[in-house]
Amino acid sequence: MEFIKTNPNIDLYENVVETASQVVTHLVIPRGKEIAEHHAPYDVIVVPIKGAVIFGDVAGNREEKLVPGDLVKMKPNEHHYLKAVKDAEVIVIKSKLA
């Protein structure tokens, strides 16, 4: 078993777990900051743990406000973006499932 602590004072992101099949990233996004449109070749789960972000689904042409307790589940290569409406922290779990 391994216990992993995140750093709330990082400059945008830190990868807290990296293996051949999984990456877990901790994002710290100040209010007003945006993470531009991007995609990943993984199945992805996004878990807000602090604050609030607008999560943009590019293909679906929609945005959803996410707060702690919400989740986003994505298939590989789905284009998306984030905008922090409050200082936010997000955990992103990227896994190669096949």
Encoding tokens for residue 2?
Answer: 């391994």
Per-residue pLDDT of the chain (98 residues; tens, 9 = 90+): 999 999 988 989 999 999 999 999 999 999 999 999 999 999 999 999 999 999 999 999 999 999 999 999 999 999 999 999 999 999 999 999 87
Residue 4 confidence (pLDDT): 94
Which residue has 């499932």 as its token pair? 97
Q: Give residue 58's identity as a one-letter amino acid code.
A: V
What gap in Å lies between CA 26 and CA 53, rounded to an integer? 14
pTM of the model: 0.92
Q: Kindly list the structural domains of the chain, giving each domain's residue range(s) and its CATH number in brackets, ordered by start.
A: 30-95 (2.60.120.10)
DSSP 91: E
What does 15-76 look like in DSSP terms, one character per residue?
A: EEEE-SSEEEEEEEE-TT-EEEEE--SSEEEEEEEEEEEEEEETTTTEEEEE-BTB-EEE-T
